[in-house]
Amino acid sequence: MRVAVDCLDQIVAARSGPVYAYHQIVHNNQVVDSFQSRGVVFVDDIQKIPNDAVVVFSAHGVAPEIYRQARARNLTIVDATCPLVMKVHLEARRFQQEGYSIVLIGHRGHDEVIGIQGEAAESIQVVETLEEIATVKVPDPQKVAVLTQTTLSLDETKAMIAALRLRFPLLRLPHKDDICYATQNRQEALRAALAQADIALVIGSRSSSNTQRLRELSCEYGVRSYLVDRPQEIDLEWFRDAHRVVLTAGASVPEELVTEVMHWLSERFLLEIKERIYREEQVNFVLPASAISASYATTP
């Protein structure tokens, strides 16, 4: 997610003219609003972008057909697809080439799922719930593979893969787990902290799948959970009779927004802050070459 934001930031800084982004660069309203104030135009239809313009594809990835349409309009393409999402795209291509029917666990209509489906439209079927697994139909039960949206709940995904294995014992899995490491780390850290929590305050936008999973996880543990996009959405009544509050944030939430929420709380409550580090994240991705090329091409 951070790579996509840095990618768009670099392009905007290098250009004097408008920059277009296909879909929200990440699913966070604060980030999108910030870029819009700097002149970025977000579109959900590639045909609305003028010919010869610069377009940045969001972190969620796009289908090959979107690439084709962009090239037909002579657009300068900067692909900010998250490398972990791109991994799932490549897996979809590989499984299709090997003749597998693909079950994609994810949310229908989500930008990421639409992009993955576009890689192997004739071979992929999407399932959202355990109940839907019973309805999966394939031409060859011995050639079935599974992929997952990267921002899902770990527990729910494991349960669905286990159910698929019962139906298709030879089920093929990716070489590595598809769930985003940042999503996974946040879920595991939250789970460890919930045992001592009266309230869970989740920072992020409702359009963010991984943020919604954090809120749902808190509810599953019986902890009152509230999702807020900004400090102004916090209701002081939530904290009545509460002593321990767990604060977490979605993967695409800027660090400064977390700090802003902490400051808002500290102005209204006497806080004893305990930071829990569950796992250090040391995975780093470089900016895509297309971003660097576009920046050089547009710098006076």
CA angle 189, 209, 176 (to 5 degrees): 65
CA distances from 226 to 22, 229, 242, 279 (A): 30, 10, 13, 24
d(CA 156, CA 195): 20
Residue listed under structure tokens 């490549």: 90
Which residue of the set 112, 132, 220, 281 is catalytic?
112
Examine the residue annotation and report whether 112 is marked as an active-site residue of this protein: yes
Q: Sign of dihedral through CA atoms 200, 202, 206, 212?
A: negative
d(CA 248, CA 203): 6
d(CA 256, CA 42): 23
296 token code pair: 């050089």
Q: Which positions are catalytic?
A: 112
